[in-house]
Amino acid sequence: MKLAGLLRVAALALIWGTGFLLIKLSLRSFTPVELTFARLALGALVLTAVLPTRRLALPSQRSLWLHLSAAALLGNAVPYTLFGIAERTVDSNLAGAINATTPLWTLLFAVALRQAKRLGALQLAGVVLGFAGAVLILAPWRSGSAPLPGVLACLAASASYGLSYVYMGRYLTGRSLPPLVLSAGQLIAASGLLALTLPFGATLNGSWRPDAIAALLILGIIGTGLAYVLNYRIITDDGPVLASTVTYLLPVVAVVAGAVVLDEPVTSQLLLGVIVVLVGVGLTRR
């Protein structure tokens, strides 16, 4: 990967790593559905406003919008909402650590959908080791471990991300369209999907806290709008499986951010689990 690619991966890891902290802060005033819709809508507005400045326009092909909608469901609507639901009961650093399993899910889906070769012995060992690290992170044998529903929501969100990488790599990144156009279209589609769920979601009766509003604005404008330009650019330049390696840095950022801002506990078991997951991910790249 070239220097420009490394810088993009580092920037995306920083943005998405702090995203788990911002979700936690936003939940002080918003429900998971409200939070997800707002961040998607803000991201879509930002990217749509930028398009004319680059002399770009949204695509018009119906088939492309169908693929963008599917990518929006897998890569935005489902995982964003699931992490919002999960972080009502689990710490932001735990959610970020579990998200480190995304490359493992990506590889499994790529193999299952025949977009990658069969797993070799080393790759298979990496997958097993990676998920063993996830178990170590969760430590279900310990008293006071994270609630199972929240943990399952994090794992399902990570799996959805993995599937979205493979889907985008197959149906979207080979169309010679600018990343900004693809990103804007996907966020518009995702916003529409979440808008359909708003009438069925409960709302919080408390006041809107300034810290929650600020966190939501950052999450939407930077963590969603800018981040998906970077995401598509990395996928286009380096491929869907390699693009997911941003999660090497993401859990580190999430753990540090949660500890510094929210004073979330950082146990030796959590750190060891993250290391084991990342070593497993590394083996799958051999």
Q: What is the pLDDT of residue 245?
A: 67
Write down the pLDDT at residue 202: 66
- pLDDT on residue 242: 62
Task: Mark out the alpha helices in the chain (DSSP H runs).
Answer: 3-26, 32-50, 62-72, 78-86, 92-98, 102-112, 121-138, 148-171, 179-197, 210-220, 227-238, 240-243, 250-262, 268-284
Q: Are 59 and 141 spatial neighbours (Cβ–Cβ below 8 Å)?
A: no
Amino acid at 211: D
Query: For position 240, what pLDDT does the model report?
Result: 60
Alpha-carbon span 15 to 254, nearest angstrom: 10
Which residues of the chain fall short of a pLDDT of 70? 1-2, 143, 201-202, 204-206, 238-245, 247
Are 194 and 40 within 8 A, CB to CB? yes
Q: What is the predicted pLDDT for the residue at 199?
A: 83
Question: Domain spans of the chain?
Answer: 3-284
